[in-house]
């Protein structure tokens, strides 16, 4: 190879300087390419107790790890020579449209993670054309969520409280505000053991102690936001004080039954979906009862540790209900590929909780927008590489679920 002195004009052709971005928030969010990147930013910017409340699960956190591993163990089977220049990511779920096959799951105490809370989530969901779900334990009122997402789809997640009138009033308010779907939640008769919260001394509202002061020193912006914005208001709780588990145990009712489902069903004018279903037999029962949908969920691993992995349960349930009710799924979803795999295995829809909260903690509303943007891009790329041009084309032939854990014997449904 003949050597030569570098020519200045050729060097200049190679030089490409980006315009500097002086907005630190925009700069850090633009550098996030995955939900895991957003999680890393969130961890740096959020006090340990608040981050661990979001990031953690129950007891040894086995359920959450298994759920995420189940998605990592997916094998895709792409087709070839199909035109994917035009792609349709839209779908219909629970009687209405969604621009993407995922929506934002209900999460509790959201403004503790970042003060924009549910307003940021609802606004971002509305802008993206996807549904937003408000938790009974949300920190923004039903009416304020509607104001933040006036033209989009809003869903309400209901816990049946010891004081039934509290729950009934929430149902009436959600209906009056135009929420179109109610999630009747069945997996939380008592609180799971959130050991990170206990070890951190995490309480609602957060208490200022020597430990929290030490943790706050490198994160003064979080405390500034918390102390200079309106006091936390919960969708249902009128009193706070204590750990999350203590609050849940004080509010939830372990006597909840199918009678409560009947009462709420008679009150609610929209679509009624049962959230927290974890076996085939209950799925069949609910389909027989004619509910509009079920959500396969183990509460993000935050209730019963070692609970079934919803993604593994999905094909059995879809087969069992036979199209008599819609099936959605949550728990462990951290990428657009996870969403595509879920839909291919028969889910009508998916819900993301932590993935959205990592974005919220990383950058408020802009961070939620970025989380949705990342997931949208991954959904589009995965579909194009599978060579399907619409969500409706996805089917079980596109996915193999590789199993690490198999039962020693067949368990009952």
User: Collapsing DSSP states into helix, strand and coil, what is residue 193?
Assistant: coil
**Closest of 398, 396, 380, 361 to residue 48, by C-alpha:** 361
Say which of 39, 196, 299, 370 is annotated catalytic. 299
Distance CA 220, CA 226 (A): 10
Q: Where do the H-state alpha helices sit in 78-163?
A: 117-128, 142-148
What does 264-288 look like in DSSP terms, one character per residue? Answer: HHHH--SEEEEEEE-SHHHHHHHHH
Annotation says 299 is catalytic: yes
Give CA 123 to chain center in angstroms: 15
Contact 404, 74 (CB under 8 A): no
**Residue owning tokens 């409706």:** 392
Contact 162, 184 (CB under 8 A): no
Burial 336-368 (b: 16+ CB within 10 A, else e): bbbbbbbbbbbbbbbbbbbbbbbbbbbbbbbbb
Using DSSP bridges, classify how beta strands 293-296 and 271-277 pair: parallel, antiparallel or unpaired.
parallel
The single-letter DSSP state of residue 207 is P
Q: What H or E segment, with its residue span, contains residue 326? A: strand 326-329
Distance CA 279, CA 298 (A): 10
Which positions are catalytic? 299
């Amino acid at each position: 190879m003949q050597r030569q002195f570098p020519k200045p004009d050729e060097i200049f052709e190679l030089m490409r300087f980006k315009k500097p971005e002086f907005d630190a928030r925009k700069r850090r969010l633009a550098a996030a390419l995955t939900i895991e990147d957003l999680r890393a930013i969130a961890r740096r910017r959020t006090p340990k107790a608040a981050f661990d409340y979001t990031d953690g699960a129950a007891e040894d956190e086995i359920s959450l790890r298994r759920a995420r591993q189940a998605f990592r163990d997916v094998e895709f089977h792409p087709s070839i020579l199909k035109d994917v220049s035009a792609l349709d990511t839209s779908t219909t779920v629970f009687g209405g449209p969604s621009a993407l096959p995922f929506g934002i799951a209900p999460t509790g105490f959201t403004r503790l993670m970042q003060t924009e809370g549910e307003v940021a989530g609802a606004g971002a969901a509305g802008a993206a054309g996807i549904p937003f779900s408000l938790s009974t334990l949300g920190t923004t009122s039903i009416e304020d969520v509607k104001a933040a997402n006036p033209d989009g789809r809003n869903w309400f997640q209901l816990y049946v409280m010891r004081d039934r009138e509290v729950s009934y009033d929430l149902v009436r308010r959600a209906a009056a505000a135009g929420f179109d779907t109610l999630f009747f939640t069945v997996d939380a008769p008592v609180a799971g053991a959130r050991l990170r919260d206990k070890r951190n001394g995490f309480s609602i509202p957060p208490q200022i102690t020597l430990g929290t002061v030490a943790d706050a020193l490198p994160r003064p912006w979080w405390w500034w936001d918390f102390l200079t914005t309106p006091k936390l208001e919960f969708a249902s709780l009128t009193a706070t004080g204590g750990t999350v588990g203590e609050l849940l145990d004080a509010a939830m009712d372990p006597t909840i039954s199918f009678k409560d489902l009947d009462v709420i069903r008679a009150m609610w004018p929209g679509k009624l979906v049962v959230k927290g279903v974890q076996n085939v037999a209950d799925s069949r029962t609910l389909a027989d009862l004619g509910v509009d949908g079920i959500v396969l969920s183990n509460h993000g691993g935050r209730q019963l540790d070692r609970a079934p992995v919803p993604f593994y349960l999905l094909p059995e349930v879809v087969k069992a209900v036979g199209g008599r009710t819609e099936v959605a799924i949550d728990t462990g979803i951290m990428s657009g590929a996870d969403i595509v795999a879920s839909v291919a295995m028969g889910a009508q829809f998916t819900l993301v909780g932590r993935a959205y909260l990592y974005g919220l903690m990383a950058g408020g509303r802009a961070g939620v927008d970025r989380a949705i943007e990342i997931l949208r891009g991954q959904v589009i790329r995965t579909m194009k590489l599978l060579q399907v041009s619409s969500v409706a084309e996805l089917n079980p032939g596109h996915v193999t679920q590789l199993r690490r854990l198999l039962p020693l014997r067949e368990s009952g449904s």
